[in-house]
Structure 1
Amino acid sequence: MGDPCDEMEIAYIDEPELAFQYGQTNDHPKDGLFLYGPHKKRSRSKELSVGVVGTKEGLGIFRNWAIKLGGFIAVPPPQKKEKKNRLHLSNFPGIEETFGLIISPADFVERKVDYNQLDIATKILNQHEAVRKAVDLYVSEIEWHDKNEEKSVDVWIFILPEFIFERCKPLAKRAGLDLQKGSFGKKQKKRTDLPLFAGIIDQSDEDIFEDVPDFHRQVKARLLKLGHTSQIIRETSLAPEKFLNKAGYPIRNVQEPATVAWNIATGLYYKTQHEPPWKLTNVRPSVCYMGLVFKQIPNHPREHVCCAAQMFLNEGDAVVFRGANGPWKTNDYEYHLKAPEAKKLVSKVISTFREKHGHNPKELFIHGKSGFSNEEWEAFVKATPKETNIIAVRIKTTNGEAKLFRNGDYPVIRGTAMMIDDCNAYLWANGYIPRMDTYIGPETPNPLFVTVMRSSGDTPNIKTVLGDIMGLTKINYNACNYSDGLPVTIRFANKVGEVLTMGSAKDSEKQPLKFYI
């Protein structure tokens, strides 16, 4: 009997090209932005109105860092133990030179949060209460500005002391802190024996338990209703030299300053401009992608919220829809929508595409990490116009079940694919990148396992599907990376689901993706 691997085709999926200003293309966001500028760069630079919320020290750190962002930031020279090849790093030319944006620290809208109040809030015994109070201290400053000031703000930036990151996330280890009782007991039990604080503490505010105790997710959920985009940055990311351990080394390893500048500047552009900084080239017209994800709602173990992040590739941006809540878990340990909810969700996607383009999509790809039930699929098809071919694609991460090596023991080139049959393939979305002469990763890359599960019309070629997925790994506008290991439909759907399941995100049915990341 022959080796089954002999029958499998090994193929290379070309690296997708990106479009920038003047109709120029490049496969690397940093090179394209440096050489040509954003896809829809203005003829004249635009000054951003930036709002900053932080402690006194945090505001000073960001102000100083923003001055540096306006100029050239070089990649530091290699250390003695490093190889001279550092092609994966790029100098940052300056935010105006690269993006056509001007930020003036003297004109920032600054709102100060008291460090001691933050410290006290995050030491409250009940972590849900502690995180909510910490979030309130920040968000209340934005609410005050909206009610009392006329100056509009394009984006709000949250500068966090390190203890916020350490204490205000799920399963945070708060051992050793002098925890103090608040309005609730350790396990959500309301305290009713505090007459002294009657009228001061709202003991009826038990909706705090509808949110996961996570500062980042709660801020994003709260700002959905305020209609503001935001960027959350740790003080240690901007000034690691100011936060040293007893041995005199930074308390955490951070990216070098040029990379930090690239990532933050890209996020600021995406969150304040109508068009994304780059787009994919050679995109098939009238194709729509939708990422489907299920996330558990806090304190409701039998209910889940379904959210879809769809990406219009010819525009490069995405719209987020909130689906229905329900007990979607089935006996096969997967999550599937009932017919009415499935039909409603796809109808939202189709109608939004039609609003933007004036016609229905030719193809609608639904990306998910699990399979699709018969009931679910039939509802999807019924909600789809006849001229639209709907295709269900499962994209699963793997962990060592398939390995390929180049020249014996080197990682394969990113874009390598191993075809199992006409509908199944492994795709290495991470791997060796020739132009950088390196593989950026800690271990031998694992592939994605891609399956074209169903199609209402002609089944697309598996290589076409893989090419689309490769393209979707290059449009993460919250950073300026060469690529991601996951397509945006899966990566961002997870982030969106984490925000939409928060109780404070209720009634947020349809928003651009930039509000969630």
Structure 2
Amino acid sequence: MKFPEKSLPTLFIEEPPLEFAYGQTCPNPKDGLYLYGPHQRPKRAKEIRVGVVGTNAGIGYFKSWAEKLKRRVHVPPPSKTDKANRLHLANFPGIEEAFAISYEVDDFVCYSLDKSHITGATSLLNQHEAVAKTVALYADKVKRHDKDEEQAIDVWVFVLPEEIFERCKPEAKRTGVPKLRGEFAGRQKERFNAPLFAGILDQTEEAVFDDVPDFHRQVKAQFLKLGHTTQMLRETTLVPEEFTNAAGYPTRKTQDPATIAWNLATGLYYKTQPSPPWKLSGIRPGVCYVGLVYKVIPNDKRDFVCCAAQMFLSEGDGVVFRGANGPWKTSNYEFHLGAEAAKSLMEMVVAAYREKHNENPREIFIHGRTFFDNKEWEAFASAVPEGTNVVGVRIQSTDGDVKLYRDGDYPVLRGSAVVLDDKNAYLWTNGYAPQLDTYIGPETPNPLFVSVLRSKEAFPRIEGVLRDIMGLTKINYNACNFNDSLPVTVRFADKVGDVLVMGSAKDAERQPFKFYV
């Protein structure tokens, strides 16, 4: 983009406030939860029902951590070698005090897996088969519980030995793994005369190759249909001191215990309660935000692409809609929906908003990483009712071409923006945060490049668009962070798409966003 010759105006967007219990607001989710509790705080702590699947050791590790979460977890004092800025860290007050939920560890529903069975499954020569059978070890325990037991479970926790993380992901090197031949030829990478799995998996003889060999994505895809939320935890996250190298140091560098406690408790709350722990405060009524998701379908000879939409409201929680598969990838490596597919997707968004609020939205902001072509945009605009404005916004990360400094040497304030014109601006969603008195980052932060590309009616002010994006960086409920660098509409687009293109997610119904993370 050509810069204007005149000086460029700069803006500072105040840190967006979040709302907690009793209508109280605070910019920091940890402070808000510590002082007030979740924004839908009940009068009495709600007891959640937790199911755990793992090895005997893994179940024990999680139970120990669950007991820790019921008490205060302190930020450890800095060591002699750890002199990094620690102002963003905070003590964890206990899950009932911060989130108003509780549980009895002795009441956890636990299903144990034999470690040798996990080792055997992850060692299969064909990685597709290895991942599918490893997923089946965990999923079968849940399916059997649903079939045989009356006790409902609010969230399933899968505790993973490190070999699952190392062997059950795409492009895993799997060096030193004793390869077992299994039922598939080791050279087979796609559908081709695949044998039956003899009832071990809920898939047809060749469908195993429709799933990318990734444990995390396959679990999320399967559980979309089962209707359960899941939380996956590595054993090395729970007890890093138990896994050391020859020098006696932990094999993995993990976060401090208090931060792990905050993140784990946030996930348990978000995945068991109807509303998220906090919401954006002061959002204009009648506004919703839609993140477009495109992902190439693996093992599809037509080179088709799956399209979906993530819708987020002021309450913060999201819903994912699966759109049509089709030839949405263009010759210039951008993605554009056909008219019918675009119209259908937007109609689903409007219907879901109306279902929740009993009225049509006033504004729909569509966030994406590419442009919108004419046919696609006309279909979006025609699908919304009269009186609803649709705005198309492109949000792109930058690679360091533009830098902004404070006082010549210090990182720029988070919320700083350089406005190029009434439709384009650079926005720093990372930077020095006065509320924390620190900058959380290893290097000079890079901005997002924000462009307001299309609007059904009058174009909104660029300042308002930037303010909304800042707010959307604060509703990642998969962790308890002060902020993310990307708005939630864009940040999770790849992860949502990765799940939706799995063969095991085919025909999955509309599910809340919490099922995907």
Relative to the length of structure 1, the TM-score reads 0.96
Amino acid across the alignment from 1:228: H
Gap change, CA 1:341 and 1:200, over 3 Å in 2? closer
Gap change, CA 1:73 and 1:365, over 3 Å in 2? same
Q: Does 1:165 align with 2:165?
A: yes
Q: Show the counterpart of 1:452.
A: 452
Q: Does 1:91 align with 2:104?
A: no
CA offsets 1:190-230 (integer angstroms, 9 cap, x no match): 898999x9788999521011111110010011111110001
2:140 and 2:85 map into 1 onto residues whose CA distance is 48
Q: Show the counterpart of 2:118.
A: 118
Q: Show the counterpart of 1:253.
A: 253
Aligned 8 A contact 2:334 2:370 in 1 = yes
Aligned 8 A contact 1:54 1:159 in 2 = yes
Q: Show the counterpart of 1:214.
A: 214
Q: Show the counterpart of 1:36.
A: 36
Q: Show the counterpart of 1:473.
A: 473
Q: Show the counterpart of 1:318.
A: 318
Amino acid across the alignment from 1:282: G
Give the C-alpha shift of residue 85 in structure 1. Answer: 5.3
1:363-374 equivalent positions in 2, closer than 5 A: 363-374=363-374
1:4-403 equivalent positions in 2, closer than 5 A: 4=4, 6-83=6-83, 86-188=86-188, 205-300=205-300, 302-313=303-314, 315-403=315-403
CA offsets 1:393-444 (integer angstroms, 9 cap, x no match): 0000110121111121221011010101100000001111122222111221
- Deviating more after overlay: 74-83 vs 145-154: 74-83
1:229 and 1:199 map into 2 onto residues whose CA distance is 25
Gap change, CA 1:201 and 1:423, over 3 Å in 2? closer
2:159 counterpart SS class: strand
Moved over 6 A (4+): 189-195, 197-203
1:319 counterpart SS class: strand
Amino acid across the alignment from 1:311: F
Gap change, CA 1:239 and 1:411, over 3 Å in 2? same
Give the C-alpha shift of residue 385 in structure 1. Answer: 1.1
Gap change, CA 1:371 and 1:193, over 3 Å in 2? closer
Give the C-alpha shift of residue 509 in structure 1. Answer: 3.5
1:92 and 1:203 map into 2 onto residues whose CA distance is 43
Q: Show the counterpart of 1:501.
A: 501
Gap change, CA 1:256 and 1:338, over 3 Å in 2? same
Gap change, CA 1:347 and 1:72, over 3 Å in 2? same
Gap change, CA 1:201 and 1:294, over 3 Å in 2? closer
2:78 and 2:362 map into 1 onto residues whose CA distance is 50
1:163 counterpart SS class: helix
Gap change, CA 1:102 and 1:380, over 3 Å in 2? same
Amino acid across the alignment from 1:398: T
Aligned 8 A contact 1:366 1:391 in 2 = yes
Aligned 8 A contact 2:132 2:201 in 1 = no
Aligned 8 A contact 2:89 2:259 in 1 = yes
Aligned 8 A contact 2:218 2:502 in 1 = yes
1:78 counterpart SS class: coil
Gap change, CA 1:402 and 1:200, over 3 Å in 2? closer
Aligned 8 A contact 2:184 2:194 in 1 = no
Q: Show the counterpart of 1:406.
A: 406
Amino acid across the alignment from 2:12: Y
Give the C-alpha shift of residue 103 in structure 1. Answer: 1.9
CA offsets 1:373-407 (integer angstroms, 9 cap, x no match): 11100100110112001000000011012111112
Give the C-alpha shift of residue 270 in structure 1. Answer: 0.7
Give the C-alpha shift of residue 6 in structure 1. Answer: 4.6
- Deviating more after overlay: 175-184 vs 411-420: 175-184
Give the C-alpha shift of residue 494 in structure 1. Answer: 2.2
Aligned 8 A contact 2:338 2:376 in 1 = yes
1:4 and 1:290 map into 2 onto residues whose CA distance is 31
1:462 and 1:204 map into 2 onto residues whose CA distance is 51
Relative to the length of structure 2, the TM-score reads 0.96
2:454 and 2:356 map into 1 onto residues whose CA distance is 27
Q: Show the counterpart of 2:438.
A: 438
Give the C-alpha shift of residue 492 in structure 1. Answer: 2.2
Aligned 8 A contact 2:192 2:206 in 1 = no
Aligned 8 A contact 1:286 1:361 in 2 = yes
Aligned 8 A contact 2:66 2:105 in 1 = yes
Gap change, CA 1:406 and 1:318, over 3 Å in 2? same
Aligned 8 A contact 1:429 1:448 in 2 = yes
Aligned 8 A contact 1:476 1:488 in 2 = yes
CA offsets 1:310-359 (integer angstroms, 9 cap, x no match): 0011x221111001001111122201000000000000000111111111
Aligned 8 A contact 1:184 1:191 in 2 = no
2:331 and 2:347 map into 1 onto residues whose CA distance is 27
2:259 and 2:487 map into 1 onto residues whose CA distance is 22
1:150 counterpart SS class: coil
1:186 and 1:422 map into 2 onto residues whose CA distance is 57
2:260 counterpart SS class: helix
Q: Show the counterpart of 2:490.
A: 490
Aligned Cα RMSD in Å?
Answer: 1.9
Amino acid across the alignment from 1:359: E
1:198 and 1:278 map into 2 onto residues whose CA distance is 47
Gap change, CA 1:110 and 1:446, over 3 Å in 2? same
Instruction: State the identity as a percent.
Output: 60
1:274 and 1:133 map into 2 onto residues whose CA distance is 32
1:294 counterpart SS class: strand
Give the C-alpha shift of residue 80 in structure 1. Answer: 2.6
1:485 counterpart SS class: coil
CA offsets 1:476-506 (integer angstroms, 9 cap, x no match): 0111000000000111222211111111011
- Deviating more after overlay: 133-142 vs 328-337: 328-337
1:53 and 1:108 map into 2 onto residues whose CA distance is 10
Aligned 8 A contact 1:183 1:191 in 2 = no
CA offsets 1:419-473 (integer angstroms, 9 cap, x no match): 0110000000111112222211122111100000000101000000000000000
2:304 counterpart SS class: strand
Aligned 8 A contact 2:195 2:205 in 1 = no
Aligned 8 A contact 1:188 1:209 in 2 = no
Give the C-alpha shift of residue 65 in structure 1. Answer: 1.1
Gaps of 5+ in 2: none
